[in-house]
Amino acid sequence: MATAEAKPQATESPPADPGPLVLRRGDRIQLGYRTGAVDAIRGDWLKPNDVRVTWDGQKYPVWIQWTSLELDHAKGRLQVL
């Protein structure tokens, strides 16, 4: 009869769920090492399609897909400041 060996328990807890992503015009965000401001949100209000962000030090704003921002937020790379 084989004896069952106890597996070591992981001491790290899983990352906390950041909750749903909520952005409004004028919010400051940090994505990775870049910080910027939300200029506009485009799409229906149930779930937006795009977000226009002006990064600090950049002349022109960029449009970013909402779903990619949600994924970055879930992985902890996007922070609303």
Query: pTM for this one?
Result: 0.74
pLDDT tens for each residue of 54-74? 999 999 999 999 999 999 999
Q: What is the mean pLDDT of residues 10-38?
A: 84
- Radius of gyration, alpha carbons of the chain: 19
CA 64 to chain centre: 12
When pLDDT is cut at 50, 70 and 90, the band that residue 46 belongs to is confident
Residue carrying structure tokens 């992981």: 10
Q: What is the 3-state secondary structure (H, E, C) of the chain?
A: CCCCCCCCCCCCCCCCCCCCCCCCCCCEEEECCEEEEEEEEECCCCCCCEEEEEECCCCCCEEEEHHHHHHHHHHCCEEEC
Q: What percentage of the chain exceeds 90 in pLDDT?
A: 67
When pLDDT is cut at 50, 70 and 90, the band that residue 15 belongs to is low
